[in-house]
Structure 1
Amino acid sequence: MSIAVPHLEIRFRGRVIEHLGIDMYQSPVAAIAELVSNSWDADSRKVDVTLPGKIGTNAQIVISDDGEGMTLAQCQNRYLNVGYDRRKDRGNDRTSEGRPMMGRKGIGKFAGFGIARFVTIETVSKETGERTVFRLDATQLIEDADSYAESQPLTVEVLEYDEPNEGRKEQHGTIITLSDLSLKVTPNAAQFRTSMARRFLLMERADEFQVNVNGEPISDSEDVEKIEFSFPADYTDDQLPEGVIVEDGWGIESLSNGSKVRWRFVFYKEPIGEEELTGISVFSHHKLAQRPFLFNLSGGFGGQQGTSYLSGRVEADFLDEQKRDLISTERQRVNWEMEASQPLLEWGQARVKSLLRIWQSLRSKAKVDAMRKRMTPFSVRLGKLEKPERKVVEKALTSIARITSLNDDQFGELAEAMLTAWEGGRLRGLIDDLSEADTMDADALVKILAESRVMSALHAAEHVKSQLNLIAGLEERIKRRELENEVRDYIAENPWLVSPRWETFRVERSVKALVDEVAKEAYGEYWDARMDLVLSSGNQLLVVEFMRPGLKLDWDHLNRYERYVYKLQLATLARYSEFRSVSGLLVADKIEKATDVLAKIDDMRPRDMDATDWAGLLGRAKKQWEDYFDILFARAPEDARMQSLAGPTSGDAS
């Protein structure tokens, strides 16, 4: 029987709900992951997430669990208490059944507002059998508390209340319904399961906590058949680091501060190509604390090519057990500047570097073994060479075999080209150098060899110098404020001018209609003032937006741009299966130097949204090409032609 009950209320300062929900959790996976975390903390055994079959006016997302539920008083004192610290209230960081708590800040319950206007909560208390149903309206919470200074309670609509009942205790749990959704694209259930699995480490506890999406459990995202090496399982006895205990394929060891970590790193047979999987994810209390990264390594280490093959997970519960919170609110990154997190950062850097070297050695061995088999057709020709010559050629082939980015076909072609060149008396000096290249940087060799089989350092340096000259020419055009279609088209034809890593990108026209559609929706009245360049390479899509000359990039521009790229990422992944990664770059004349603007740009970069001015963009590109030229120059510093190339760069971009 339903009875009248006193109203509930929520008290907070100003538009805090907007920032805790709408601004932080605009991804459905991120928002729902927070609600699943609350179910874990409520000692649920099972959570069911139901996604809509189609986005529309009546579409809903429902998250139901069989946790301990809440009494009416707990709804008021816990759920509607913004920032409620369950750990402090309980006096420890464990749930009633002894689970390590995932929640800490008391704000994840508002994550639903990132994707919905209404959040309806139906909860039955395991303790009393009380049943309470109430609804939160984001519009009311934001508009009725429009000031940042006021702290007035707001009435919360209670839809139903049933008093304590012993028989109802068995129905304990909570159902959260998200309605009036802001999503424009229907979530793909299969992709959703995979993304959810990557936010939690729960597979080994599936018997006590199962998460289902549309009736099917989330599953481990690893494709075992695609994995080539797994560590620590694939360590040899002499490679296993001191202090590492191997248990069920995972490594367990202590950091320099005494904290324990549990880890497993794998290398795939082919480059991964998925942002959610490439790199090392850090988990604390079974929940994602740091999105995949490489422990802030910036380069200059052996086996660096292997980073695109590397994926891994680290369990570091101590991060979530510090007095000071080390994990960002939306649980995407750890504050690595803090003293408490430094031991893990240092350990991770050392472990990644070590495993990349091992990976490089293993891949090289596989290449050498394959080379030996492929050498059979060349055995007669090699046998005709004098023994010292044969030794030089074989060693040169071994050096090339260490270049992990070359596939078998490319290696076979290079081997044929090198043997033919040697027989013809050509390039013997370079082949002799290659035979001694045990320590030569593999990436440098790739740049020299991949484009035209065997290429001299001088020719490569000439190519780099021409790129630098063209960048200088582009800088001159920028100074002359030629920032309209001509410069955009110029970059479209030569994307490598802005960054060497864009050498493989080309103009992509197949998504123009979608880009225009999303831009018009995201920018509204500002749409006609935009100028986009859309590039693609493989499964990657890059959208470069050029701001009008004279405009200074400010907070409002960034907000519109962030919304535009986010919408484009969702729409592209939903409509175009060939593109799995969508990045954005915003280029302006100048950037407002306000602290919040610069911080906003830094926050956007991990989500594949970058913003810069022309000076910064071209400066970075020039530095990368200059560094490569220095490497080439060091190989022939006495050569007069190389010394001539090292002279001043001229700006010719006509």
Structure 2
Amino acid sequence: MSDLYEMTVDLNVLDHLGINLYSNIAAVITESVANAWDADAELIEINIDKENDLITIKDNGIGMSISDMNQKYLRVGYRRRVEDTITGEVTAKGRPVMGRKGLGKLSLFSIANCIEVQSIKDGEASAHGLKMSIADIKDSVRLRERSYKPVSLEVDALSVTKGTQITLGEIKRTRLGKSVQALRRRLARRFSVIGEKFNFKILINGQPVTMEDRGDLSALQFLWKIEGSEVDTSAATKVKETGILENSLPGWESNIKVSGWIGTSRTPKELDSEELGNLNGIVVLSRGRLFHENILDRLNDGRLFTKYLTGQIEADFLDANDKPDIATSDRQRVQEDDERYIALIAFLKSALNKVESKWSDWRKKHEVEKAKEESPALKQWLDGLPSGFRKSAESLIAQISSIPVDNDVDQKLMFKHGVIAFERMKLRGSTDEFGHSLTNPQQLLELLGDRDALEASLYRDIVNSRLDAIKQFNNLLDQDAKEKVLQEYLFNHLWLLDPSWERASGSEAIESKLIAEGVIIDDLTKKEELGRVDIAYKTSAGKHLIIELKRAGASVTLHGLNEQGTKYFDKLKKICRSLGDKNPNIEVIFVLGKEIPEESSNPERIKHSMNAISPGSRIMYYDGLIHSAQNSYASYLEKSKELDKLELLVDNI
């Protein structure tokens, strides 16, 4: 009985092709499922027992006799379509035969060290079976035997009553995969003939494999069916728009057609499956089984929308019986220089061009609708934009919506920054530039972060801070309040005294010497004793500024101011010269609450007296500061209402 079976193949070929040909369990099980299809099976039961390192694959097909086992199953390279003259190309039930090279059976050795096969052919009374192991095959190779002879199974070890049963033992853990669920999903993507329509059912650990297990259909937002295709897309429950693609290219023969579907997800992240890996790809099937695992990779198409693509197309002409076999040994890729493959590439490029044209419009429409629905404030902003700006703004919102984020809070933050950025671009007149950047997320992020955008944001911050200062000035009615605000703002915001003093800064070295000389009194009690509210030293654009605030109700004389200012000037000039500045530009500025008598009787005398201290020295008044600020920043005040509305809108997004 031990010599009942014989595998006629060079054992070195068996060693290399069988053990190393396939890389994962899904590819191996695919071969067994394809064999069951070719055997006219209606049910395949796959059971995975991880605890005992066993996988059982059982079908209810026509089964095999001992002769079939030897001449067909154990014969590596058996080409059924050519050598079986009765049902070679089509099964008894009319199914197109999937198998072609006769190498798939070797794939079992890729994941298992021990294999048992038992079968019973329709019409025969008893079953038979064999056992093979990698260890025995390697022994035969080492002994240079011409063939490997599997061991026959004992009668009491046989359990099959219909079809064929394959038991894989001593499973290689590295090839077993992540989970049973992952295998179910992968098989769902590798066959298009699963289901009642084809009378072909697959169970994994008792649970049927369905189209819903694919994972890609449930992620679709938009779907394009290829005309004439009868594909089950019932699992695509979230589809918002559908389209039709032609099934051939001009110049193709009438019998050459493509079927299937292409779809896009709402975000690339939705195509990233923990169990399946990245679903961003288009699988190609022929005769109902996987022929090319991801043809999208071969298109070299870097357009943004391809990151959202998934799909399944069938091209039976790739595996025509009267043409050479162009599938690789593991039947997951093809020979790319074949004219049929080149034609398929041309078809897909044409189809994807049509997909992109619709995708952009549909995505903008639905992403904007979704964003508006989730954020009334965002809807208010979009609806309030002039029509010339609205289209670019909607493109921006659609782009932001599709950027993968971890949670809703992050997306809302992006919307806020997007709104502010768009408003900045409006001020710059650069919304066209902004719109052009929306085809590439990286360019969008770079544009939001460039130097001009940063300056625009600083501009808005300056507007807000200055408006706050001016509003407080404008709302102050009593002198004490004016005095308090001036003390807080004037030395930190010199623009209130002169708009050109934007970047004034203090000089600690000179200021310390002024304190030592008694010009600046650094003690509050002494300040009050001397009747001085505050004094500070600043530098701006090459000038040295000594600024003194008098109490708003204090009465002063022009003579007193001249005498005081001259003393300040002389002291500071002496200090500057000691530090190397021989001709310092010094101005002394007094800020008063009450007008001095000469203001109305002899203004020229005031001017002469101040110039006598130093050119540019002068007297300013609190009320004059308010009036000057209002005039100088009238445009800021005009914009304040618009900015306040924008601030409220952004806070509400």
Same-fold call, TM cutoff 0.5: yes
Offset from partner CA, 1:12-44 (integer Å, 9 cap, x none):
124111222211123122112211111111111
| Structure-1 residue corresponding to 2:576 | none
Change (3 A) 1:352 1:223: closer
Tell whether 2:60 aligns with 1:66: yes
Is 1:360 the counterpart of 2:360? The answer is yes
Which whole-Å CA distance do the structure 2 matches of 1:70 and 1:382 have between them?
71
Q: Which residue does 1:229 correspond to in 2? A: 222
| Counterpart pick for 1:442 among 438, 445, 449 | 438
Tell me the residue number matched to 1:43.
40
Q: Deviations over 1:506-545 (max 9, x none)?
A: xxxxxxxxxxxxxxxxxxxxxxxxxxxxxxxxxxxxxxxx
Cα deviation code 1:398-453 (max 9, x no counterpart): 44246364476366324531454368x5xx1433543xx4xx35344x33432573
Which whole-Å CA distance do the structure 1 matches of 2:363 and 2:346 have between them? Answer: 26
TM-score (norm: length of structure 1): 0.58
1:178 aligns to what? Answer: 168
Which SS does the other structure have where 2:294 is aligned? strand
Q: Is the 8 A contact 1:336 1:345 kept in 2?
A: no
Contact kept in structure 1, 2:118 and 2:160, CA below 8 Å? no
- Corresponding residue for residue 262 of structure 2: 265
Other-structure match for 2:107: 111
Do the aligned partners of residues 22 and 268 (structure 1) sit closer, same or farther apart at CA in structure 2, a change above 3 Å counting?
A: same
* Among 169, 188, 194, the residue aligned to 1:203: 194
For 2:342 and 2:320, the matched residues in 1 are separated by 15
Name the CA distance, whole Å, in 1 between partners of 2:167 and 2:116.
5
Closer, same or farther: CA 372–68 of 1 in aligned 2, 3 Å: closer
> How far does residue 113 in structure 1 lie from its aligned partner after superposition?
0.5
Correspondence 1:90 to 2:88: no
Which structure is richer in relative contact order (CA contacts within 8 A, separation 6 or more)?
A: 1
Contact 1:200–1:287 (CA under 8 A) maintained in structure 2: yes
Residue-pair matches, total: 421
How far 1:357 moved relative to its partner? 2.6
**Alpha-carbon distance in structure 2 between the residues aligned to 1:418 and 1:144:** 73
Give the AA of the match of 2:305. Answer: G
- Aligned-partner Cα distance in 2 for 1:215–1:203: 15
Distance 2:354 2:196 in 1: 31
Contact 1:276 1:291 in 2 (8 A): no
**Equivalence map 1:212-251=2 (5 Å):** 212-220=203-211, 221-222=214-215, 226-232=219-225, 244-245=227-228, 247=230
Q: State yes or no: 1:347 paired with 2:342.
A: no
Q: Distance in 2 between matches of 1:117 and 1:430?
A: 66
Q: How does 1:14-413 map to 2 (within 5 A)?
A: 14-54=11-51, 58-91=52-85, 92-146=88-142, 152-160=146-154, 171-184=161-174, 188-205=179-196, 208-220=199-211, 221-222=214-215, 226-232=219-225, 244-245=227-228, 247=230, 253-255=247-249, 256-258=252-254, 259-271=256-268, 272-274=271-273, 275=277, 277-294=279-296, 296-299=298-301, 304-322=303-321, 323-369=323-369, 390=386, 393-401=389-397, 403=399, 405-406=402-403, 409=412, 412-413=415-416
TM-aligned CA distance change 1:187 to 1:51, over 3 Å: farther
1:285 deviation in Å? Answer: 1.1
Judge conservation of contact 2:5–2:152 (CA < 8 Å) in 1: yes
**In structure 2, what residue type is equivalent to 1:70?**
M
Whether the aligned pair in 2 keeps the contact of 1:122 and 1:175 (CA below 8 Å) is: yes
User: CA contact under 8 A between 2:267 and 2:403: conserved in structure 1?
Assistant: no
Q: In the alignment, is the contact (CA less than 8 A) between 1:265 and 1:311 conserved in 2?
A: yes
Pair 1:417-2:420 in alignment? yes
> Whole-Å Cα distance in 2 between the matches of residues 381 and 134 of structure 1?
72
| Distance 1:310-1:410 versus aligned 2 partners, 3 A rule | farther
- In the superposition, relative to structure 1, how do residues 52 and 371 fare at CA in structure 2: closer, same or farther (>3 Å)? closer
TM-score of the superposed pair, with normalisation by structure 2:
0.58
- Contact 2:272–2:278 (Cα < 8 Å) also in 1: no
Letter in 1 for 2:78: Y
TM-fit CA distance, 1:62:
0.7
Deviations 1:554-576 (A, max 9, x none): xxxxxxxxxxxxxxxxxxxxxxx
CA contact (8 A) 1:400 1:411 kept: no
Per-residue displacement from partner, 1:626-652 (whole Å, max 9, x unpaired)? xxxxxxxxxxxxxxxxxxxxxxxxxxx
Question: CA 1:441–1:208 in 2, change beyond 3 Å: closer, same or farther?
Answer: same
Question: What are the within-5 Å matches in structure 2 for residues 455-474 of structure 1?
Answer: 455=450
SS at match of 1:112: helix
Alpha-carbon distance in structure 2 between the residues aligned to 1:320 and 1:369: 45
Q: Secondary structure at the match of 2:138?
A: helix
CA distance in 2, matches of 1:6, 1:247: 50
> CA offsets per residue over residues 442-477 of structure 1, 9 Å max, x none?
344x33432573636999xxxxxxxxxxxxxxxxxx
Q: How does 1:574-589 map to 2 (within 5 A)?
A: none
Distance 1:204 1:352, change over 3 A: farther
Q: Secondary structure at the match of 2:260?
A: strand
Note closer, same or farther for the CA distance 1:174–1:402 as it changes in structure 2 (3 Å cut). Answer: same
Measured against aligned partners, the alpha-carbon deviations of 1:133-182 in whole angstroms (never above 9, x if no partner) come to 111122222331259xx7812322122469xxxxx999331111111222
Cα offset, 1:379, TM superposition: 6.2
SS at structure 1 position matched to 2:247: strand
Instruction: Give the drift of 1:363.
Output: 0.7
Identical aligned pairs, as a percentage? Answer: 26
The SS at the match of 1:325 is: coil
1: CA distance, partners of 2:177 / 2:314: 32
One-letter amino acid matched to 1:176: I
Q: SS state of the match for residue 9, structure 1?
A: coil
Please state which structure has a larger fraction of its residues in helix. 2
1:422/1:332 CA distance change after superposition, 3 Å: closer
Residues 193 and 218 in structure 1, CA contact (< 8 A), matched pair in contact too: yes
Larger of the two Rg values belongs to structure = 2
The answer to whether the Cα contact below 8 Å between 1:232 and 1:251 also exists between their aligned partners in 2 is yes
Cα pair 1:44 1:65 within 8 Å, conserved: yes
**Preserved contact between residue 10 and residue 147 of structure 2 (Cα < 8 Å):** no
The code of the aligned residue for 2:445 comes to A
Contact 2:115 2:133 in 1 (8 A): yes
Q: Which amino acid aligns with 2:4?
A: H
Alpha-carbon distance in structure 2 between the residues aligned to 1:84 and 1:381: 67
Cα distance change, pair 375–288 in 1 and its aligned pair in 2 (3 A): same
Contact persistence 2:382–2:393 (CA under 8 A): no
